[in-house]
Amino acid sequence: MGEFKVHRVRFFDYMPSGIRCMAFNRKADRLALARLNGSVEIFNFSNNYFQEKVIPGSDSRSIEAICWVGCDRLFTAGLNGEVVEYDLERLCPKYTLDAFGGPIWTAACNSAETHFAFGCEDGSVKLFEILPDKIQFERNLDRQKGRILSLSWHKTGTLIAAGSLDVIRVFDVKSGHSVQRILVDRGPAGTRNKDCVVWNVAFLSDYTIVSGDSAGKVQLWDANKGTLIKTHLVSKWDVLSLSVSENEDSIVAGTSEGTVIQFQLLSPTIGDAETQWIRTRTFKHHTHDVRAVTETKTSVVSGGLDTQLVICPRMDKVEVKSSESVLRKVIFPHRSLVSCAKKPSLLLFQFPDQLELWRLGGTDTVGKPGESLPVTRKPEKLIQLKRKGDDHICCSTISECGHWIAYSTVSSIRLYQLQCDNNNISISKVSKLPKVLRSAHQLQFSADSSKLFVASEQATIHVISLSRSECTHVHTFKPKSGSSAPVHLLAASADGQWLTSANRHCEINVYNLKKLKHHCMVPVYNSLPSAMAIHPETNNLLMAHADQQVFEFSIVDKQYTDWSRKLQKEGLHRCRSKWHTPITHITFNPSAPSQVMLHDTHMFCIIDQSLPLVDLKAQFYSRLTPKDMSETDRPSKNNAFKMCKKYQPLLHVNLLEDDWLVVVERPLIDIHSQLPAPVRQKKFGT
């Protein structure tokens, strides 16, 4: 029963984009992160670091600075000279504004959140007033020679420190004049003809300016006198990022070498009141440029060109061992980029700029477990579909029968019909889509491929009826709570009666497709659902949440099932607690409907609902692997829980017919091999 034939797929060339800048919102406990391809991601730190929202990027956008205002306003500025505010409900830019200063290198918001300062290519620092629904240009500070690469407000809002080439200036905000000009010395002999780029400045409330520059120095300056207090040479290469903790007792700096260095304000001798900045820790979690660092209360967060977001706990701040006290690396998105048509064995891969449709290969031999079978039919790339326009693809799906493909960007939805007879594949775009369809957060075909469900940007769900001749808009479901939160998950039942949607306010609504009305709402759980599916036979809704909890809800009875309660009691999450990536997909075994399969990045597991959950804890505390046990002792016969860690990291796992499994892996080494070469470092013995 536990034997599967596995399509081990490694040809999904998913390449995450490098991290450019980050901003942490302490009030909302959320991290906003901008990538090199212009996409913005929001991680909810209080909800198990779940990737809550993704605003797809655009070819025309490049982000150099990102800034929160208040709890829920997010701004970015970039080299195209534009300032963008985002709509965090509809997950798209709300408006863009040209600063008219050439490329913008940096942005900073004052502590009162009344004004923005932007540092531009032409050497100007532009002040913008923040209004409730827009920002408005106020004035320029005195224009200087050389581009402004970094900015920092003093807490009082009266002074701004600006880093440029070879120089740091302090501006008086009121007068707009430069009141201090600090020369930063260039690197060691031999590099003196190269400008020293002040990549970062931070203005502390005690009028100390911290700077990080291209000569590898972190320097502390007295802003009043313009004198150097202390130099820390931390790297042979650039110091690219700098962050000061909220209470100004810690500074972290990220370098080109991939290290993150922490400085702390400590007294050199115990009991001494006098404190100074002392270099304390070095973290080396990156291989490439650390382009962004920030500090939360308990951890140091860093990201860079090697595309991974590293959340490294500060052990001196962590008191109890909890999920916060482990090092996390976020490499893959917390949603599925792969959709699968089970019957024709098709896989649809979603890239930001294209879709790829592959047909899986096959074999005509059988083998014993552990064997690798000869591939008699090779996998085949059927279609490569480039998107139109500048905006990146935000979601895509393929119908169960494999005849329909749909994808959406922030500006449009496209639906394609696929004819596939033998070796001839033809694809035709469905030209006339109903007017209501503008953009989608999630797309889902019904099990019989007769309907397309579109989670729109207005938090509603459109039901589109599909036929060969035309597509018609059937109905629009609105959430009963009236919430405008974006829907990020959709699930339809196999019998075509039920549709469920989950939005980012943790609400899960169930709609009756036959009666076209709202059926019920699942009790709100305080963690975002990360995956859900409706059981094909019992019509029970299975939900996995960002905090690793799994629930089963009976749609018909409108209550949690007994199995769900039992699972909560036994504690399924215990075995999963050491994994930190959310479950991204739930599916069922077509040939054994009692088997539920769920997976995250590191493992997949199959739970047999027909088997008791009793020995669950015992099994996971025991270190013995079942293989070592004798046939009779093996718990496999009566154990509900089977898991597999052989394939890592997983982007997608799905159960096909006849006990076939498809596993989409993306080895980290393949990602690393596509990254640019890191800065050369002398390693011992080389």
- Applying CB under 8 A, the residues found at the interface with another protein are 2-11, 361-363, 366-375, 378-379, 606, 625-627, 634-636, 639, 642-644, 646, 661
| Nearest of 258, 275, 267 to residue 312 by alpha carbon | 258
Task: Show the tokens assigned to 639.
Answer: 């154990």
Bridge pairing between strands 125-130 and 159-163: unpaired
Question: What's the min distance (Å) between Cβ of 375 and another protein?
Answer: 6
Q: Which residue carries 């096959």 as its tokens? A: 362
Q: How far apart are CA 607 and CA 550, in angstroms?
A: 11
Nearer to another protein, 550 or 644 (CB): 644
List of residues 6+ apart from 32 with CB closer than 8 A: 22, 23, 24, 25, 40, 41, 42, 66, 68, 74
Q: What is the CA radius of gyration of the chain?
A: 27
Nearest residue (CB) to another protein, 590 versus 635 = 635
Q: Which amino acid is at 220?
A: L
Which lies closer to another protein via its Cβ, residue 72 or residue 633? Answer: 633
Distance in angstroms (rounded) separating the CA atoms of residues 623 and 573 = 18
Of 9 and 437, nearer to another protein (C-beta) is 9
Shortest CB 594 distance to another protein, Å: 14
357 within 8 A of 348, measured Cβ to Cβ: yes
Query: Given the complex with another protein, which of 226 and 635 has the nearer CB atom?
Result: 635
- Closest Cα partner for 607 from 641, 580, 633? 641
Q: In the complex with another protein, which residue's Cβ is closer, 359 or 462?
A: 359
Residue among 481, 475, 603, 490 at smallest CA distance from 543: 490
Determine the Cα–Cα distance for residues 316 and 276; give it in Å rounded to an integer: 18
Residue 5 beta carbon to another protein: minimum distance, rounded to whole angstroms: 5
Nearest CB to another protein, comparing residues 346 and 461 = 346
Of the two residues 388 and 617, which places its CB atom closer to another protein in the complex?
617
Tell me if 510 sits within 8 A of 541, measured CB to CB.
yes
Judged by beta carbon, residue 565 or residue 617, the one nearer another protein is 617
Phi, psi at 179, each rounded to 5°: -100, -15
In three-state secondary structure terms, 147 is coil
Determine the Cα angle at 479 with ends 499 and 457, to 5°: 90
Q: Are 222 and 210 in contact (CB under 8 A)?
A: no
